[in-house]
Structure 1
C-alpha cells in the first residue's frame, strides 16, 4: 500500500507538487491537502478497479457451483470447491476493505480540514473586536463554518466515489470498442426473395475458417456441393471440424477465406437476421428458456395449438406434455431443468419442425436419447424433413447409414464425400474404419 501511494506521488502532475516556499502556513496546509486529495483520487480508482476485477471470478464460481452441484457431490469435490471459494472470497474482500479504508482515510482528512477551518474562524470571531465586525455577522460566519463540515465531506466523498464506480462503465466501454461485433442484422441492398431458400442447395467454395485471430484454421479450403433436399451425414473423429460446419453455416464465426452459397446467394452478403431466420438447428446441447412450453415451441405466436400438438406428436412428446396440469401453458424453469435432457432435445426438435425451414442442421441431436427413441426420431426426420436439405452431425455412425451421402471430416478437411455404400466398399476408406470401430465398441 505504501509503495503504491509512493508511486502515485511520483506520477502526480507538477502543479500538484510545486510549492511556494515563501507562502504562508495556511497556503502550505491547503496545498498539502490538495496533494493528498490527488493521491486519494488515483488510489481509490485503482482500488475500485481491483475490487471489480476480483469480484467476477467469485460470482462465476458461485454460479457454476450451483448449476453443477450434483456433479460436485458425485465426485466428492465439495472440500476443493469450498477452499477455492474461500480464496476468491478473501481476495475480493481484501480489495473491498482497501476501498472502504480509502474512503475512511478521506473522511478523516476532510473532518480534520473542516475542524481546522472552524477553529480558525472561531478564534477570529472571539479575538476580533465588535467594533470591527458586527456580532451578528460573526455568528453567521460561525454557523456557516460549522455546516461546512458535513457539506464538504458529503460533496467530496460523493464525487470521488462516483468517479471510482465509473470504472465499471470504463470496462463496458472497453468491451464495446475493443470486442469485434458480428455483422449487420439486415442489409437492404441484399434483395432477398421472401421464399428464399426455395431449393436448399449449399456450396462451400474454397472455404476456410478460424474462430479468432491468431488461432489455427478449423476448416481448411472446403469445396463441397450439397444438392437440394439431400440428406448428408457428417462424421469424423473429435476435433475434425464437424460442428464447425454448423458454426460456418450460421456465420457464428466469419470466414477467413472463401464463401458459402445457398441457392445462388452468398451468405457473406446477407444480414445475420435474414440468414439465420431461414435456417433451423437442433443443437447438441438442448436450449430451453424461462417461460411456458408454448413460448419455447413458438416464441412469436406464429402457429395454432393444433400445429403445436402435431409437432409434439411427431417427436413423441405429446403424451408427456398432455399429462402436465397446464399442458402447453406449463412453466419451464431456467435451462429447462424440470425436463430431462432427452425431453429437452425432443422439444428442440419439435421447435424445428414448426419452422419448416428448407435447411436443417442436426448437431448430434439424438446424443441424449435412448436407442429405441432414437430409431423413432430417425423415422420422423425422414418423414417430416423429406423436402428439406438435412445436415446430420453423427454421434452414432449407424444413424447416418441411410443418408444420401456421407461427408467424412479430418483435421478441418473433407477427405471423403460419397454414398455410404460406395465408401464402405472402398479399400482404406476412413468411413469404413470409423464404422468398423463403432461396431466393435457396440459388440
Structure 2
C-alpha cells in the first residue's frame, strides 16, 4: 500500500506540473494563439491535462484514505489489546493501559507521518544520488573496452522508452532503423515528434521499456555508462560553457596537446577570435563568456567534440543560433573533420541536411520514413518531400540528384 501511494503521489505531482506548465505557456503566448486561431485546440489539450491531473489526484486521495484507515485500525487494535490486558491483569491495569494507549496512538500517528515524509525523502535521495548507476544489470555483455566501438554502426531494434517507466506513457514507440558506419543522418519532424528523446535514448537517459539499441552490435545496456558516454558526443541546441580557461573547457581531462587544441579551434573557425585575446587559449571563459556570441559558444562545443574524437556524434539543432554563413562553415567541418564519425543531426533548417546520406522522419515518437535523402526528396508521396515543399525548398515536379540540387 505504501508503494502504491508513493507512486500515486509522484504521478499526481507530474500531472499537476504538466497542467501548470501548459497554463503558463498559454498565458504567455495568448496573443500568438489568437492570431493563428488555435484557441480551440489548446482548450481541448487543457481539458485533457485537467482530466489527467484529476484522475491522478483522485487515485492519490483514495489511496491515502485507505492508508489512514489501516493506520487507524492498527492503532485501534493496539489500544483494544491494552484494554484486554488491563482486564486480564488487574494488578497492572493502569500501567498496561497507559503504555498500550500511548503505543497505539504513536503507531497511528507514525504510520501517517511516515507515509507523508517518504515520498519527500525519495526525491531528496534522487537529488543526492550519483544518477544512473553504471553497475546496473547487464545483458549479453560482449564489450571489448579497448577497441569498442571500432566502426560506429548504430541500430535501434523495436525500441520503446518512457521518461518514467510504469508511470508515464512511452515517448518512443517501436523505433527500428540502422545507421551504417560514417553515415550522416538528418532527423526531421514536428515539435514533440520524439527527436530529442531519440538522443536521450542513445545516452541511456531514458530507460528502455522494449527493444534495445546497439552500437557495433553491442547492446548499450551492457556497456558501463561512463564508457558509453565517452564514445558518444552531443552538441546541444543551447551551448553550455563551464568556468575555467578555454583550454580546460575544450580538454577537461588534459589529455590533448596545445597543438591539438589549436587544430580543433581552426577546424571550428575560432582561431582568429582566440588569437586576438591576450591570453589565447588560457583566456578565462567565465569572464569573457558575455563576449562569446551564441554561435561562437556553439563553435566551442564543436571544437570540444573534435578533441574527443567520438564514433557517434549527435547534433541537437546545433546550428539554430548561427547565421547561414557560419552554418555553411560548420557543415563543411562536419563533412571533413567528422568523416570518421556516424552523425545524427536534428534539423532546425532543412537545407542543412539536404546533403546528408539519409533522412529519418519522426512523428509522435515513431519512425514514419527512413531512407536515402535523394529518394525521399524525389518521392511525391514522401512526408519529407511534403515538408520540403511547405518550406519552399522543392519546386513542384522537380527532381533531386545525389549532389542535393534541384533540377
Shift of 1:182: 4.1
Match of 1:394 among 324, 347, 353: 347
Shift of 1:186: 5.0
Q: Does 1:193 align with 2:145?
A: yes
Structure 1: how far apart are the matches of 2:193 and 2:287?
32
Structure 1: how far apart are the matches of 2:171 and 2:369?
17
> In the alignment, which residue of structure 2 is the partner of 1:346?
299
Q: How big is each residue's C-alpha offset from its partner over 1:222-271, in whole Å with a ceiling of 9 and x where there is no partner?
A: 11111111111111111111111110000111112111011111111221
Match of 1:324 among 277, 292, 303: 277
Shift of 1:337: 3.6
User: Would you say the 8 A contact 1:288–1:334 is kept in 2?
Assistant: no
Structure 2: how far apart are the matches of 1:393 and 1:440?
18
Alpha carbons of structure 1 residues 180 and 207: separation in structure 2 relative to 1, 3 Å: farther
Structure 1: how far apart are the matches of 2:126 and 2:246?
38
Shift of 1:336: 3.6
User: Would you say the 8 A contact 2:182–2:339 is kept in 1?
Assistant: yes
User: Would you say the 8 A contact 2:159–2:213 is kept in 1?
Assistant: yes
Structure 1: how far apart are the matches of 2:392 and 2:378?
16
> In the alignment, which residue of structure 2 is the partner of 1:305?
258
> In the alignment, which residue of structure 2 is the partner of 1:275?
228
Structure 2: how far apart are the matches of 1:218 and 1:177?
22
Q: Does 1:236 align with 2:172?
A: no
Shift of 1:188: 11
More divergent stretch after superposition (186-195 vs 325-334): 186-195
Q: Does 1:385 align with 2:334?
A: no
Partner SS, residue 247 of structure 1: helix
> In the alignment, which residue of structure 2 is the partner of 1:361?
314
> In the alignment, which residue of structure 2 is the partner of 1:16?
none
Q: How big is each residue's C-alpha offset from its partner over 1:129-151, in whole Å with a ceiling of 9 and x where there is no partner?
A: xxxxxxxxxxxxxxxxxxxxxxx
Alpha carbons of structure 1 residues 334 and 233: separation in structure 2 relative to 1, 3 Å: farther
Q: How does 1:12-31 map to 2 (within 5 A)?
A: none
Shift of 1:178: 9.5
Q: How big is each residue's C-alpha offset from its partner over 1:42-84, in whole Å with a ceiling of 9 and x where there is no partner?
A: xxxxxxxxxxxxxxxxxxxxxxxxxxxxxxxxxxxxxxxxxxx
Q: If you compute each CA radius of gyration, which structure gives the higher value, 1 or 2?
A: 1
Alpha carbons of structure 1 residues 380 and 205: separation in structure 2 relative to 1, 3 Å: same
> In the alignment, which residue of structure 2 is the partner of 1:176?
125
Structure 1: how far apart are the matches of 2:305 and 2:315?
10
Structure 1: how far apart are the matches of 2:391 and 2:218?
38
Partner SS, residue 164 of structure 2: coil
Alpha carbons of structure 1 residues 174 and 356: separation in structure 2 relative to 1, 3 Å: closer
User: Would you say the 8 A contact 1:186–1:270 is kept in 2?
Assistant: no
Structure 1: how far apart are the matches of 2:127 and 2:235?
32
Shift of 1:358: 1.1
Partner SS, residue 344 of structure 1: helix
TM-score (norm 1): 0.58
Structure 2: how far apart are the matches of 1:200 and 1:221?
22
Alpha carbons of structure 1 residues 255 and 438: separation in structure 2 relative to 1, 3 Å: same
> In the alignment, which residue of structure 2 is the partner of 1:211?
163
Q: How big is each residue's C-alpha offset from its partner over 1:402-432, in whole Å with a ceiling of 9 and x where there is no partner?
A: 1111001111111110111111222221101
Q: CA RMSD in A?
A: 2.7
User: Would you say the 8 A contact 2:351–2:393 is kept in 1?
Assistant: no
Alpha carbons of structure 1 residues 186 and 293: separation in structure 2 relative to 1, 3 Å: farther
Structure 1: how far apart are the matches of 2:127 and 2:262?
46
Q: How many residues align?
A: 275
